[in-house]
Amino acid sequence: MSEKEVDRCEVFSSDLKKVNRVQTKIASLEVMVDIFKALADETRFKIIYALYIEQELCVCDLSLVVGMPVAAVSYHLRYLRSLRLVRYCKRGKMVFYSLDDEHVRDLVRITLEHIEHTGED
């Protein structure tokens, strides 16, 4: 039996109760999809990871971390802010960013744990 044949059912049979329950839940996932799309961008994830490591960084520091102009980093930060993944605090002429809450920290931590765990196999 080939690998293609092993990874699917030999007969088609569905549990419509389960299918309907899942379809109802999937219909309301737009914001979750947007969050994962945001995190799928390498620059935005570098920003999130930098804030995970340092707790708080100014836009200038983030610009140096990701190797992009301040204007480009600010664009990404606005997008992350719109999804409530980061927040900012203005102090004088400086703007500092941090992760919005512990849930965002958890996303990074869980991803790191998953990477470490899958490396043990």
Contacts of 52 (CB under 8 A, 6+ apart): 99, 105, 108, 109
pLDDT of residue 3: 58
pTM, full prediction: 0.81
Question: Tens of pLDDT along 26-75?
Answer: 878 888 999 999 999 999 999 999 999 999 999 999 999 999 999 999 99
Which CATH number fits the domain 16-119, given the four candidates 2.30.110.10, 3.40.30.10, 3.40.50.2300, 1.10.10.10? Answer: 1.10.10.10
Cα-Cα-Cα-Cα dihedral of 101, 67, 71, 42, to 10°? Answer: -50
The phi and psi torsions of 91 (rounded to 5 degrees) equal -125, 105
Q: Are 68 and 35 in contact (CB under 8 A)?
A: no
